[in-house]
Amino acid sequence: MKITFFSFFMAMFWSSLIIFCVFLFRKLGLLTKKMSIISILLIYFFSIFRALFPFDFSDSRGIALDGLFSDFYKVVYLNKFPFLYLSTSLFQLFLIVWLSGALILLITFARQYCKILTVVHTYEKANSPDLTNALKRVHSQIGKTLDISILYSKDISVPMGIGIINKTIILPLRIYSENDLYFTLLHEYTHFVNHDLLIKLLTQLYCCLFWWNPVVYLLKVDLAQTLELKCDLYVTEEMTINQKIEYLTCLMNTLKESNSSQTRASYNSVALVAEGSHMVERFERISKNIDSPPKKAISFSFLSLLIIIVMLSYLFVFQPEYEPPADEFSGPNTYEITKENNYILLENDKFFVIYNNHERSEISKESALFMETQGFKIVEGDKDK
């Protein structure tokens, strides 16, 4: 088990292909109508897993590709050029730029996250009879109590949750109806129960690591929306139709109250509402889920197929194919060795390639066994062909 240029290429190829297909199918409505949100999240998990484990196993078979792939490998990996008094390839230079960029982004992300947490600690602690009653309803509905601080802030426009260890719900400083306060807290509380903030944090770290791949930004945006859909469905799972209408009304009220000039939720938090088509999709999903829940059989079949594809993707790797120049391999002492007119001789525990009818050349046992897998026959004893 090792990591090679080809195994790395295959990992990026399969991971990017899965992410792009899921994003495209979701936008076209081909997945959302048939599969559960959990299944879509699992698909994204497999795509990330494939990128983070780009190993080449001993059983992997090479698939020779000629043309553009061979040219790409030659230009990127084989060709060397001087750089800072060193002879390097484009791939080696790419690794330097990649790791440097990832380190800068990770440090920047950590500083911004710490800055946000510092600002959050300055917000006013929320405490009122209405809030206490709403929290009791939330605890009763979820059946689980978490240590979550609730704060008010005049600097934000939408309710949001933030924090992995010190969990915090931040509410815009305004007047809430009893139902709006309850549904707002229920939504944010559900995010914490489902560990959605941890998922978003890990996704952000993944994007910092693979910053050069444009597909990861599709993952970042769509995964955030998928988590919101999952949260909505968890919240409304046992609600009556009237309760779901009240929940959607709460979302509409929050959307109307939001102000784009104020601080909006960062990717490191989870907000009650977003903008544009994201909210339309959430409304449609909640409404359609009233009468038509996702089909579990379809979700299971698709996930099973995906697992098989990911496993099979480790069994082969793309490799360049080159035809050696004929003028470099011609002459009176040059012979073409093929399985049709040559064979391997096993004599006194030694292996020989028999060519030109009687001439022999000793090879290692490993080479002989490999040639056998390619169709060459192994003959024991001194036998004329």
Does residue 150 form part of some domain?
yes
The answer for residues whose C-beta is within 8 angstroms of residue 118's C-beta and 6 or more apart is none
Which pLDDT value is given to residue 292?
Answer: 47
The larger pLDDT score, comparing residue 283 to residue 328, is at 283
Q: Which residue has the higher pLDDT, 288 or 131?
A: 131
How much is the pLDDT for 105?
95
379-382, Cβ contacts within 8 angstroms, sequence gap of 24 or more: 379/343, 379/344, 379/345, 379/346, 380/346, 380/347, 381/345, 381/346, 381/347, 382/345, 382/347
**Does residue 7 belong to any structural domain of this protein?**
no
Q: Is the pLDDT of residue 290 over 50?
A: no
Domain count, the chain: 2
In total, the chain counts a number of residues equal to 385
Same domain, 139 and 267: yes
Residues 212 and 359 in one domain: no
Query: How confident is residue 102, by pLDDT bands cut at 50, 70 and 90?
Result: very high
Structural domain includes residue 283: no
Last residue of a domain, one of 249, 277, 305: 277
Return the pLDDT at 272. Answer: 67
Pair 236, 362 in one domain: no
Question: 230 and 370, same structural domain?
Answer: no
Q: Are residues 337 and 222 in the same domain?
A: no
Q: Which amino acid makes up residue 51?
A: A
Look at residue 143 and tell me if it is in a domain: yes
Domain assignment present for 302: no
**Are 128 and 262 part of one and the same domain?**
yes
pLDDT of 327: 56
Q: Is residue 61 part of a domain?
A: no
Q: Which residues span the domain enclosing 338?
A: 332-380
**pLDDT confidence tier of residue 286, bands split at 50, 70 and 90:** confident
The reply to whether 363 falls in a domain is yes
Residue type, 239: M
Does residue 27 lie within any of the structural domains?
A: no
Whether residue 206 sits in one domain with residue 338: no
Based on the domain organization, do 267 and 344 belong to the same domain? no
